[in-house]
Structure 1
Amino acid sequence: MATLEQCMTALEGFVGDLAARPALSGLDRTVSCRLTDLEQVVQGRLVNGTAQGMEAVPAGPSVPRADIRIITTSDDLLAVTSGELSFGSAWASGRVKLEAGLRDMLRLRALL
Protein backbone atom coordinates (compact mmCIF):
# COMPACT_ATOMS: atom_id res chain seq x y z
CA MET A 1 0.00 0.00 0.00
CA ALA A 2 1.35 3.40 -1.01
CA THR A 3 1.53 6.29 1.42
CA LEU A 4 -0.73 9.33 1.30
CA GLU A 5 2.27 11.53 0.50
CA GLN A 6 3.16 9.38 -2.53
CA CYS A 7 -0.44 9.54 -3.70
CA MET A 8 -0.60 13.32 -3.26
CA THR A 9 2.55 13.79 -5.35
CA ALA A 10 1.35 11.39 -8.05
CA LEU A 11 -2.13 12.90 -8.16
CA GLU A 12 -0.87 16.49 -8.35
CA GLY A 13 1.22 15.52 -11.38
CA PHE A 14 -1.62 13.54 -12.96
CA VAL A 15 -4.19 16.30 -12.46
CA GLY A 16 -1.68 18.88 -13.68
CA ASP A 17 -1.04 16.85 -16.85
CA LEU A 18 -4.77 16.39 -17.28
CA ALA A 19 -5.44 20.10 -16.88
CA ALA A 20 -2.76 20.94 -19.47
CA ARG A 21 -4.47 18.97 -22.26
CA PRO A 22 -5.86 21.18 -25.04
CA ALA A 23 -9.29 19.54 -24.83
CA LEU A 24 -9.55 20.70 -21.22
CA SER A 25 -8.32 24.26 -21.68
CA GLY A 26 -10.51 26.80 -19.97
CA LEU A 27 -12.04 24.12 -17.76
CA ASP A 28 -12.89 25.11 -14.18
CA ARG A 29 -14.02 22.03 -12.26
CA THR A 30 -13.61 20.48 -8.86
CA VAL A 31 -11.83 17.13 -8.91
CA SER A 32 -11.43 14.42 -6.28
CA CYS A 33 -9.75 11.05 -5.95
CA ARG A 34 -11.07 8.62 -3.34
CA LEU A 35 -8.28 6.28 -2.22
CA THR A 36 -10.28 3.32 -0.97
CA ASP A 37 -7.47 1.53 0.86
CA LEU A 38 -6.28 4.68 2.67
CA GLU A 39 -9.82 5.91 3.41
CA GLN A 40 -8.81 9.38 2.17
CA VAL A 41 -10.10 11.76 -0.48
CA VAL A 42 -7.72 14.10 -2.30
CA GLN A 43 -9.59 17.08 -3.67
CA GLY A 44 -8.80 20.26 -5.56
CA ARG A 45 -9.65 22.20 -8.73
CA LEU A 46 -8.72 22.12 -12.41
CA VAL A 47 -8.48 25.78 -13.41
CA ASN A 48 -7.20 27.10 -16.74
CA GLY A 49 -4.69 24.32 -17.31
CA THR A 50 -3.45 23.99 -13.72
CA ALA A 51 -4.24 21.93 -10.64
CA GLN A 52 -4.92 24.09 -7.60
CA GLY A 53 -5.54 23.55 -3.90
CA MET A 54 -4.97 19.80 -3.79
CA GLU A 55 -5.55 18.57 -0.22
CA ALA A 56 -6.32 15.29 1.52
CA VAL A 57 -9.33 14.86 3.81
CA PRO A 58 -10.71 11.76 5.53
CA ALA A 59 -13.31 9.95 3.41
CA GLY A 60 -16.83 10.22 4.67
CA PRO A 61 -20.29 11.62 3.97
CA SER A 62 -19.19 15.20 4.75
CA VAL A 63 -16.81 15.37 1.76
CA PRO A 64 -18.38 17.59 -0.91
CA ARG A 65 -19.11 15.90 -4.24
CA ALA A 66 -16.63 16.99 -6.91
CA ASP A 67 -17.48 17.57 -10.58
CA ILE A 68 -14.91 14.94 -11.66
CA ARG A 69 -14.40 11.94 -9.37
CA ILE A 70 -11.78 9.19 -9.52
CA ILE A 71 -12.06 6.15 -7.26
CA THR A 72 -9.15 3.73 -6.94
CA THR A 73 -6.60 2.20 -4.56
CA SER A 74 -3.31 3.89 -3.75
CA ASP A 75 -1.27 1.25 -5.59
CA ASP A 76 -3.39 1.50 -8.74
CA LEU A 77 -3.11 5.30 -8.65
CA LEU A 78 0.68 5.07 -8.55
CA ALA A 79 0.69 2.45 -11.32
CA VAL A 80 -1.46 4.66 -13.58
CA THR A 81 0.51 7.84 -12.91
CA SER A 82 3.89 6.13 -13.39
CA GLY A 83 2.82 4.58 -16.70
CA GLU A 84 2.96 0.97 -15.49
CA LEU A 85 -0.79 0.68 -16.03
CA SER A 86 -2.75 2.50 -18.72
CA PHE A 87 -5.74 4.49 -17.56
CA GLY A 88 -7.93 2.91 -20.24
CA SER A 89 -7.22 -0.67 -19.23
CA ALA A 90 -7.48 0.17 -15.51
CA TRP A 91 -10.87 1.79 -16.17
CA ALA A 92 -12.07 -1.10 -18.36
CA SER A 93 -11.12 -3.67 -15.71
CA GLY A 94 -12.76 -1.68 -12.88
CA ARG A 95 -9.53 -0.93 -11.05
CA VAL A 96 -10.14 2.79 -11.60
CA LYS A 97 -13.58 4.38 -11.67
CA LEU A 98 -14.22 7.74 -13.29
CA GLU A 99 -17.44 9.62 -12.58
CA ALA A 100 -18.42 12.96 -14.10
CA GLY A 101 -21.22 14.67 -15.94
CA LEU A 102 -21.77 13.87 -19.60
CA ARG A 103 -20.10 17.03 -20.89
CA ASP A 104 -17.02 16.43 -18.73
CA MET A 105 -16.89 12.75 -19.73
CA LEU A 106 -16.83 13.76 -23.38
CA ARG A 107 -13.92 16.10 -22.69
CA LEU A 108 -12.11 13.41 -20.67
CA ARG A 109 -12.47 10.68 -23.31
CA ALA A 110 -8.85 11.33 -24.34
CA LEU A 111 -7.84 9.44 -21.17
CA LEU A 112 -9.51 6.28 -22.41
Structure 2
Amino acid sequence: MATVQECRQALDDLAKRLAANAEDARKRINLDRTLACRITDLGAAFHGRLSGGQLLDIDEGDDPSAKIALSTTSDDLVALVRGELDFARALGARRVSISASPFDLLKLRKLL
Protein backbone atom coordinates (compact mmCIF):
# COMPACT_ATOMS: atom_id res chain seq x y z
CA MET A 1 0.00 0.00 0.00
CA ALA A 2 1.36 3.42 -0.98
CA THR A 3 1.53 6.15 1.63
CA VAL A 4 -0.33 9.45 1.66
CA GLN A 5 2.96 11.17 0.80
CA GLU A 6 3.48 8.88 -2.23
CA CYS A 7 -0.06 9.67 -3.39
CA ARG A 8 0.64 13.39 -2.98
CA GLN A 9 3.86 13.00 -4.98
CA ALA A 10 1.99 11.12 -7.71
CA LEU A 11 -0.54 13.97 -8.00
CA ASP A 12 2.27 16.54 -8.05
CA ASP A 13 4.00 14.54 -10.81
CA LEU A 14 0.75 14.45 -12.78
CA ALA A 15 0.35 18.20 -12.35
CA LYS A 16 3.89 18.75 -13.68
CA ARG A 17 3.25 16.55 -16.71
CA LEU A 18 0.00 18.33 -17.48
CA ALA A 19 1.70 21.72 -17.09
CA ALA A 20 4.45 20.67 -19.51
CA ASN A 21 1.79 19.71 -22.07
CA ALA A 22 -0.81 22.33 -21.17
CA GLU A 23 -1.10 23.70 -24.70
CA ASP A 24 -1.92 20.29 -26.15
CA ALA A 25 -4.18 19.36 -23.23
CA ARG A 26 -6.04 22.67 -23.49
CA LYS A 27 -6.83 21.90 -27.14
CA ARG A 28 -8.32 18.54 -26.16
CA ILE A 29 -10.04 19.54 -22.95
CA ASN A 30 -10.83 23.04 -21.84
CA LEU A 31 -12.56 22.66 -18.49
CA ASP A 32 -12.46 24.71 -15.34
CA ARG A 33 -13.70 22.33 -12.67
CA THR A 34 -12.98 21.49 -9.06
CA LEU A 35 -11.54 18.04 -8.59
CA ALA A 36 -11.40 15.62 -5.67
CA CYS A 37 -9.20 12.52 -5.53
CA ARG A 38 -10.27 10.08 -2.85
CA ILE A 39 -7.84 7.39 -1.76
CA THR A 40 -10.12 4.64 -0.51
CA ASP A 41 -7.65 2.38 1.29
CA LEU A 42 -6.02 5.23 3.21
CA GLY A 43 -9.15 7.18 4.04
CA ALA A 44 -7.38 10.22 2.59
CA ALA A 45 -8.30 12.71 -0.08
CA PHE A 46 -6.85 15.56 -2.10
CA HIS A 47 -8.56 18.34 -3.96
CA GLY A 48 -7.59 20.83 -6.61
CA ARG A 49 -8.74 22.41 -9.82
CA LEU A 50 -8.56 21.30 -13.44
CA SER A 51 -8.18 24.44 -15.51
CA GLY A 52 -6.70 25.19 -18.92
CA GLY A 53 -5.42 21.64 -19.27
CA GLN A 54 -3.58 21.86 -15.94
CA LEU A 55 -4.07 20.44 -12.47
CA LEU A 56 -3.75 23.35 -10.05
CA ASP A 57 -3.95 24.14 -6.33
CA ILE A 58 -3.55 20.56 -5.07
CA ASP A 59 -4.10 20.34 -1.33
CA GLU A 60 -4.95 17.69 1.23
CA GLY A 61 -8.55 17.10 2.20
CA ASP A 62 -11.75 16.25 0.43
CA ASP A 63 -13.98 18.63 -1.46
CA PRO A 64 -17.50 17.19 -1.20
CA SER A 65 -18.77 19.75 -3.72
CA ALA A 66 -16.11 18.96 -6.35
CA LYS A 67 -17.55 18.76 -9.85
CA ILE A 68 -15.27 15.81 -10.70
CA ALA A 69 -14.42 13.12 -8.14
CA LEU A 70 -12.01 10.25 -8.69
CA SER A 71 -11.86 7.35 -6.22
CA THR A 72 -9.19 4.65 -6.21
CA THR A 73 -6.69 2.88 -3.98
CA SER A 74 -3.29 4.31 -3.20
CA ASP A 75 -1.40 1.69 -5.22
CA ASP A 76 -3.68 2.17 -8.23
CA LEU A 77 -3.28 5.95 -8.13
CA VAL A 78 0.50 5.66 -8.11
CA ALA A 79 0.42 3.03 -10.88
CA LEU A 80 -1.91 5.16 -13.01
CA VAL A 81 0.32 8.22 -12.77
CA ARG A 82 3.44 6.18 -13.52
CA GLY A 83 1.76 4.69 -16.59
CA GLU A 84 1.89 1.18 -15.16
CA LEU A 85 -1.91 0.86 -15.11
CA ASP A 86 -4.07 1.69 -18.10
CA PHE A 87 -6.79 4.14 -17.07
CA ALA A 88 -9.50 2.75 -19.35
CA ARG A 89 -8.88 -0.81 -18.15
CA ALA A 90 -8.78 0.31 -14.52
CA LEU A 91 -12.09 2.10 -15.03
CA GLY A 92 -13.61 -0.95 -16.71
CA ALA A 93 -12.38 -3.21 -13.91
CA ARG A 94 -13.82 -0.78 -11.33
CA ARG A 95 -10.41 -0.13 -9.81
CA VAL A 96 -11.10 3.55 -10.47
CA SER A 97 -14.41 5.35 -10.34
CA ILE A 98 -15.22 8.83 -11.59
CA SER A 99 -18.19 10.92 -10.62
CA ALA A 100 -18.87 13.81 -12.97
CA SER A 101 -21.56 15.20 -15.21
CA PRO A 102 -22.04 13.37 -18.52
CA PHE A 103 -20.68 16.42 -20.36
CA ASP A 104 -17.52 16.46 -18.23
CA LEU A 105 -17.04 12.72 -18.67
CA LEU A 106 -17.13 13.15 -22.45
CA LYS A 107 -14.54 15.91 -22.24
CA LEU A 108 -12.32 13.93 -19.85
CA ARG A 109 -12.38 10.98 -22.22
CA LYS A 110 -10.36 13.08 -24.66
CA LEU A 111 -7.42 13.00 -22.26
CA LEU A 112 -7.23 9.20 -22.35
TM range, normalised to the smaller chain?
A: 0.7 to 0.9
Quick one: distance in 1 between partners of 2:69 and 2:89? Answer: 18
Quick one: distance in 1 between partners of 2:35 and 2:67? Answer: 6
RMSD: 2.0
**Which residue identity is paired with 2:34?**
T
Identity of aligned residues (%): 41
Quick one: distance in 2 between partners of 1:107 and 1:13? Answer: 22
The Cα shift of 1:13 comes to 2.9
TM-score (norm 2): 0.84
Unaligned 5+ runs, structure 1: none
Q: Does structure 1 conserve the Cα–Cα contact (< 8 Å) formed by 2:29 and 2:111? A: no
Quick one: distance in 1 between partners of 2:111 and 2:96? Answer: 12
Alignment of 1:24 with 2:34, yes or no, is no
Match of 1:75 in 2: 75
Which deviations, in whole Å up to 9, do the C-alpha atoms of 1:73-93 show, x marking residues without a partner?
000001111111100000000
The Cα shift of 1:48 comes to 1.9
Q: Does structure 2 conserve the Cα–Cα contact (< 8 Å) formed by 1:46 and 1:52? A: yes
The Cα shift of 1:50 comes to 2.3
Match of 2:4 in 1: 4
Alignment of 1:91 with 2:95, yes or no, is no
Unaligned 5+ runs, structure 2: none
Moved over 4 A (4+): none
Quick one: distance in 2 between partners of 1:78 and 1:91? Answer: 15
Q: How many residues align?
A: 107
TM-score (norm 1): 0.84
**Which residue identity is paired with 1:23?**
R
The Cα shift of 1:111 comes to 4.5
